[in-house]
């Protein structure tokens, strides 16, 4: 632990990841809140979330080839600089908004916001895929659980503990301020990564994009454990987005929360992630990776069911706390297993294929979540329709647990 804290390159990586996750935490409140100021239609709000997650479906695999070909450090810096420009682009969009846009004039602004979310997502795909390949180059394999646990804690503290309530306060001051703050965070992250010193690395010979992509795909697909973990993560993330895309409307309409209240609600979830980042490596050490994975899988459905059934802010906050704690346990186990199992010259491509399956479903889940509420409202009423995505997510992840008990074996 002490050796990790004293490693300057590791600290720069942690600082950069913290800055970008702070920006993500702010955006996680500011983007949907901005969308709800334009429209109350859950399908249009889901469209913005869909656009932000769609790059994981479209670009995850080619981003892996790019990661293995390019200078990974430079790639991260370029992606963060691009996100800086896009954050300022959102500021420009807000400044162009009329004081009270007519309902028929809302769609162009929603489409523009979706386009900016899509481009930010494209940069995030490239940045995150490249960044995840740096950890094995900076720490010893025996330290990966500790390093990933610390990284998860820092990312959770800033992305979910500090970012959401800060976004609520900034929105109260001015809707422009959160996006200016994001631009500053991206600039800091780019600066930190620019000064990271990596060990010498010889990139594999360049071949056709098709051949390199297929090599990463074949490597993953012939490893049953990694393949099943990727598919399981895809199901979990898709169902999570199905539910969480309407959380902003649940907070406003069922819980009666303001922007700052919504930010504090998300912060309650972050506390679980922070605690999980510190505790989960010890849990894995005590009960083993396999039991930890099974435990996480069995606990995932519970928070969705609680949020779907209860309309009390404190109860929902506890459920979100529990959800991120469980997510931390899943991530510490599976990310460390991937980093230890995948050869360095394939790390970018295999990680990208893994994320294609694991994260690509989030865009579909976001779009379906808004559609479920829109189409369910005429039959169930607004209140029950807003609960439906959470009940569906609980049922789906419960079925996944029944399948995964015997199929997800990592020991």
pLDDT digits over 309-342, tens only? 998 999 999 999 999 899 889 988 888 888 788 8
Q: Look-up: residue for tokens 């908004």?
A: 97
State the pLDDT at residue 201: 60
Residue 215: pLDDT band (50, 70, 90) is: confident
H helices present in 342-360, as ranges: 344-359
What single string gives the DSSP state of each residue in 356-395?
HHHHTHHHHHHHHHHHHHHHHHHHH-HHHHHHHHHHHHHH
CA distance 171 to 30: 7
Residue 104: pLDDT band (50, 70, 90) is: low
Residues 77-100: what's their mean pLDDT? 90
- Expressed in angstroms, the distance from the first to the final Cα of the chain is 25
Distance of CA 281 to the CA centre of its chain: 20
State the pLDDT at residue 203: 58
Is there a contact between 80 and 189 (Cβ–Cβ < 8 Å)?
Answer: yes
Residues 287-300: what's their mean pLDDT? 91
Percent of the chain scoring above 90 in pLDDT: 35
Is there a contact between 61 and 357 (Cβ–Cβ < 8 Å)?
Answer: no
State the pLDDT at residue 366: 86
- The residue among 96, 406, 103, 383 whose CA lies nearest residue 250 is 383
The mean pLDDT value of the chain amounts to 85
- Residue 195: Cβ within 10 Å count: 12
Give this prediction's pTM. 0.76
What are the phi and psi torsion angles at 46 (to 5°)?
-65, -30
pLDDT higher than threshold 50 for residue 387: yes
pLDDT higher than threshold 90 for residue 70: no
pLDDT higher than threshold 80 for residue 83: yes
CA distance 134 to 12: 11
State the pLDDT at residue 128: 82
CA distance 261 to 256: 9
State the pLDDT at residue 305: 96
State the pLDDT at residue 182: 94
CA distance 406 to 153: 30
- The residue among 146, 150, 166, 158 whose CA lies nearest residue 189 is 158
pLDDT higher than threshold 90 for residue 100: no
Residue 2: pLDDT band (50, 70, 90) is: very low
For the chain, domain boundaries: 2-196+208-407
Please give the CATH topology (third level) of the domain spanning 2-196+208-407.
Growth Hormone; Chain: A; (1.20.1250)
Radius of gyration, CA atoms only, the chain: 20
pLDDT digits over 4-46, tens only? 545 688 888 888 988 998 998 898 888 888 888 888 888 888 8
pLDDT higher than threshold 80 for residue 206: no
Is there a contact between 303 and 323 (Cβ–Cβ < 8 Å)?
Answer: yes
Q: Kindly report which listed range (80-94, 147-161, 353-367, 382-396) carries the lowest average pLDDT score.
A: 147-161
**Token pair of 410 as six digits:** 């990592």
Q: Return the percent helix, strand and coil in the chain, to nearest 5.
A: 85, 0, 15
State the pLDDT at residue 208: 73
pLDDT higher than threshold 70 for residue 286: yes
**Token pair of 160 as six digits:** 């979910």
Residues 208-233: what's their mean pLDDT? 84
């Amino acid at each position: 632990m002490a050796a990790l804290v004293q490693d300057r390159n590791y600290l720069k990586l942690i600082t950069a990841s913290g800055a970008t996750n702070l920006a993500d935490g702010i955006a996680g409140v500011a983007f949907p809140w901005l969308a709800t100021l334009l429209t109350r239609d859950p399908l249009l709000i889901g469209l913005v979330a869909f656009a932000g997650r769609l790059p994981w479906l479209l670009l995850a695999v080619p981003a892996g080839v790019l990661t293995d070909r390019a200078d990974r450090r430079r790639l991260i810096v370029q992606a963060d600089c691009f996100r800086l420009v896009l954050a300022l682009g959102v500021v420009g969009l807000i400044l162009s908004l009329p004081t009270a846009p007519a309902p028929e004039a809302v769609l162009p602004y929603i489409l523009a916001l979706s386009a900016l979310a899509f481009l930010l997502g494209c940069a995030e795909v490239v940045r995150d895929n490249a960044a995840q390949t740096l950890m094995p180059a900076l720490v010893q394999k025996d330290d990966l659980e500790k390093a990933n646990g610390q990284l998860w804690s820092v990312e959770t503290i800033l992305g979910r503990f500090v970012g959401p309530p800060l976004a609520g306060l900034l929105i109260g001051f001015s809707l422009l301020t959160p996006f200016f703050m994001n631009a500053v965070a991206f600039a800091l992250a780019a600066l930190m990564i620019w000064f990271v010193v990596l060990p010498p690395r010889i990139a594999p010979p360049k071949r056709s994009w098709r051949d390199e992509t297929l090599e990463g795909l074949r490597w993953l697909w012939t490893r049953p454990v990694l393949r099943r973990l990727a598919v399981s993560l895809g199901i979990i993330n898709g169902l999570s987005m199905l539910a969480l895309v309407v959380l902003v409307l649940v907070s406003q309409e069922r819980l009666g929360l303001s922007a700052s209240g919504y930010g504090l609600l998300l912060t309650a979830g972050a506390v679980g992630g922070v605690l999980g980042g510190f505790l989960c490596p010890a849990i894995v050490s005590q009960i083993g990776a396999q039991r930890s994975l099974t435990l996480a899988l069995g606990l995932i459905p519970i928070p969705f069911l609680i949020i779907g059934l209860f309309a009390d802010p404190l109860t929902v906050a506890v459920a979100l706390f529990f959800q991120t704690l469980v997510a931390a346990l899943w991530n510490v186990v599976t990310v460390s297993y991937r980093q230890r199992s995948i050869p360095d010259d394939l790390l970018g491509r295999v990680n990208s294929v893994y994320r294609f399956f694991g994260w690509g479903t989030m865009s579909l889940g976001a779009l379906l979540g808004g559609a479920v509420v829109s189409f369910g409202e005429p039959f169930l009423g607004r209140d029950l329709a807003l609960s439906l995505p959470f009940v569906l997510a609980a049922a789906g992840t419960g079925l996944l647990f029944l399948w995964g008990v015997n199929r997800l074996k990592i020991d």
